[in-house]
Amino acid sequence: MNGSSPPSARRPRFLFVIQYHFTRLTGGTEMQAWMLACELARRGWDVHYASEMNRVPEPPVMDGVILHGLPENPSYWRGNRRPLRDLMHALAPDVIYTRMFTPYLGYMVMDAPPGAFTVWSAASGYDVRAWPYLAHGRRSHPGLLFVRRMPVYLWHNYLARKGRKRAQLVLAQQRDQQRDLAKLRVRAEILRNSHPPVPESEVQRHQGKPVVLWADSIKLIKRPELFIELARRCRDLPVEFLMIGGMLHENYRPQVEAAVRELPNFRYGGFVPLSEVEQVFAGAHLHVKTSLPIEGFPNTFVQAWLHGVPVVSYENDPESLLNEHKLGVCATRFDELEQAVRDLVNHPEKRREIGARARVFARSEFDLQHNVDRLEGLLSSRGVRLPRERRDEG
């Protein structure tokens, strides 16, 4: 595939530049990018997706999206700048989109071909501030390893900041991010995380033995050890504590395996493919979130709410939606987290009431169709050409 045809003679081309594809890492960034990509392809865009992937499927098309591989685990200093630059110039896309605060943001903006419109979507709380970014690196690589890697972290932060400053459209998931970006003199438009609708048949009715779900990649920022401790404290409850997610940080494996052996109320379901995650949420009665507050707006909040499942979160309440809008509970102390879980486990009518309210909110704020309409509107208002059928509808 190349971009040799003049732009006006072909469908508008949209290129996603995301470090990973969801088949390699099923995180919020990968899931959100892929849902947007598939919906844009359905609407008539010529959609391409570049990620670190040494073995691209053959044919390289999935759900109408054309896949492109960048070398996996590139050099810390050079990264994939040259392969990405070559790909962008070969494709000549109308729009280039990236997510997360990584060197790819800098590469995308600095090396974009003429006429390409660049979009950056902020994802995490540390996307807008340097110190949380470095603190995250210190937690991921403690001690001497962090000291050795600090020049790399500073270089990556520099590249990302250059991209953030020069991106033509900046998107924020929530108003907290929008305000933080405004302090840096970066204007951001709100574009909520998006999810397809959940039919009424898959909404949780809060009957039967309760299932308390933890659904995340198992790594430091997600704090899975807190969910294990919660299950340990609640051994007296007639409930199953279900943990799902890929083991990204192997140092957690012994702890999870010990919990499986020692706690009869705890089960580890391992990695669950994106196509099956919704079924897991449909079977859950309560969703517990233990991630650090810098994570950004959790996709699992939306997945739980769309299924009528209340959220109990530890220290993370974006826009105060849980406590102020009564879509769940945000606990600031671990004892409060335990008490909130006990209360909702023991009162199914309360779970049902909160879940119904959360579903109404989620359907109004996070609908995939509505949000892609908004994205196309933001692009069109800035002079980006839309597919013909979308222009005709407008």
Q: What is the mean pLDDT of the chain?
A: 90
pLDDT per position as a tens digit, 131-179: 555 666 666 666 777 677 778 888 888 898 889 999 999 999 988 889 8
Element (H, E) at 383: none
Q: Is residue 2 part of a domain?
A: no
Is the predicted pLDDT of residue 265 greater than 80, yes or no?
Answer: yes
Q: How confident is the model at residue 100 (pLDDT cuts 50, 70, 90)?
A: confident
Is the predicted pLDDT of residue 184 greater than 80, yes or no?
Answer: yes
Among the listed ranges 8-17, 201-210, 334-343, which one has the minimum average pLDDT value? 8-17
The answer to whether residues 162 and 305 belong to one domain is no
Q: Is residue 330 part of a domain?
A: yes
The answer to whether residues 205 and 105 belong to one domain is no
The answer to whether residues 124 and 215 belong to one domain is no
Number of domains in the chain: 2
The answer to whether residues 254 and 155 belong to one domain is no
Token pair recorded at residue 174: 């929530």
The answer to whether residues 149 and 289 belong to one domain is no
Which among 209, 210, 229, 221 is positioned nearest to 245, based on CA atoms? 221
Strands 169-172 and 189-190, bridge-based pairing: parallel
**In angstroms, what CA-CA distances link 17 with 34, 58, 99, 162?**
11, 20, 8, 16
Query: What's residue 1's pLDDT?
Result: 47
Compute the average pLDDT of residues 268-287. 93
Give residue 94's domain range: 7-194+367-393
Q: What is the CATH number of the domain that holds 164?
A: 3.40.50.2000
Is the predicted pLDDT of residue 7 greater than 60, yes or no?
Answer: no
Query: What's residue 371's pLDDT?
Result: 95
Q: Is residue 1 part of a domain?
A: no
pLDDT per position as a tens digit, 210-226: 999 999 989 988 999 99
User: Rounded to two decimals, what is the model's pTM?
Assistant: 0.85
pLDDT per position as a tens digit, 300-320: 999 999 999 999 999 999 889
Neighbours of 249 (CB within 10 A): 14
